[in-house]
Amino acid sequence: MPPKRQKTSDSASTPDPKRRVTRSSARTNTRDAKDLADSPIDSPEAEPAVSKETRTPKPKKRSSKDAKPEADAQPDEESDSAPQNRTTLTITHELVKKPIECHQYTPTPSSSTPSPTLIFTHGAGGTLSADAVVNFCTGYSSSLPVFAFQGSMNLKARTKGFHACIDELNSSQKTARKGAKKNTAGSKTLLLGGRSMGARAAVIAASEHLASLDDKEREEVSIQLILVSYPLLGPKDVMRDQILLDLPKTVRILFISGDEDAMCPIDTLNETRDKLTAKSQLVVVTDGNHGMHVVPASRTQRVGEETGRWAARWVQGEPMDDEVFIDELEGEEEWK
């Protein structure tokens, strides 16, 4: 099937309305950082099996093992400006020792139809201000909301961050629905995503969340995963596919990967997709590396935002080929 081409478009944005949680400045901290992608040295310890009998993890004392950082820790280049539709806030939860810094992206104009919020997190060596995170979230939030959270370089701790954010959003939604004439019944959608190590944490959190539900609750929930630059190959090219293979058929997955990503070769990813029980689709960024950078660098922001827009279309159920290509070579003159 010939590659599907798509041009990017600019989106307007306005400030996010106030929330009840603790808030700090939306200004983004900046630092000089060399343009490095996450290095392929992620610790292989991080694919714990999830028993069907397991409930959502309970808080426990931190051990030296918990404190061990994930090795996928090269810094991403950081953005020097904050999107106008982004609000900075913090949440606290018994599962995590410290408050979690979060960036909430609100669509502008906001839709009158309630939409599930994507919970998203960064890679091991990055932050919420990493270009790859900001670009993706900006594109995605042109139509749908995103709740991005800052996590440590430890995979287990990052997974707990997902559970804390799920509880926070559930609590906020219950408050928002209070006093409504009718409660929404039927299927509930849980959207989790991340890039690099954050994508692995999203998969594990999804499995743990499913394991914490009873049969009836499991039938009512729809889990969708958006995995950007999933690090399929670990140290010594060890495959990190088992947690993906363990996902049930009720889970939907969207992979977003660059065709120059050494940690996730497209051919290897497609071989893995063929083995999955869960249904998956793929967006390929032409000339994109693991950090989702392309050459020349001036294209990186546009391409990154376009991946977010594709992810939003996928969530909204728009028709989409099994494999879609984003190629900035097309429409070059339009951007000059």
More confident residue, 203 or 75: 203
> Can you tell me whether residue 163 is helix, strand or coil?
helix
Instruction: Identify which of 120, 147, 138, 144 has the alpha carbon closest to the alpha carbon of residue 227.
Output: 120
* Helical ranges in the chain per DSSP H: 64-67, 131-140, 155-177, 197-211, 215-220, 242-245, 266-275, 300-315
Residues of the chain above pLDDT 70, percent: 68
* Claim: this prediction has a pTM higher than 0.85: no
Which one is the CATH code of 64-174+186-335: 3.30.70.100, 3.40.630.10, 3.40.50.1820, 3.40.1350.10? 3.40.50.1820
Chain segment 133-175, per-residue pLDDT in tens = 999 999 999 999 999 999 999 999 999 999 999 999 988 776 5
What is the average per-residue pLDDT within 161-190? 72
What is the average per-residue pLDDT within 1-30? 40
Highest-confidence segment of 80-84, 108-112, 187-191, 226-230: 226-230
Instruction: Identify which of 292, 13, 313, 19 has the alpha carbon closest to the alpha carbon of residue 131.
Output: 292
Chain segment 209-226, per-residue pLDDT in tens = 999 999 999 999 999 999
The pLDDT confidence band at residue 82, using thresholds 50, 70 and 90, is confident
> Which pLDDT value is given to residue 59?
41
The tokens describing 66, both together, are: 């918990």
Strand pairing class (100-105; 146-149): antiparallel
The pLDDT confidence band at residue 329, using thresholds 50, 70 and 90, is low
> Which pLDDT value is given to residue 187?
58
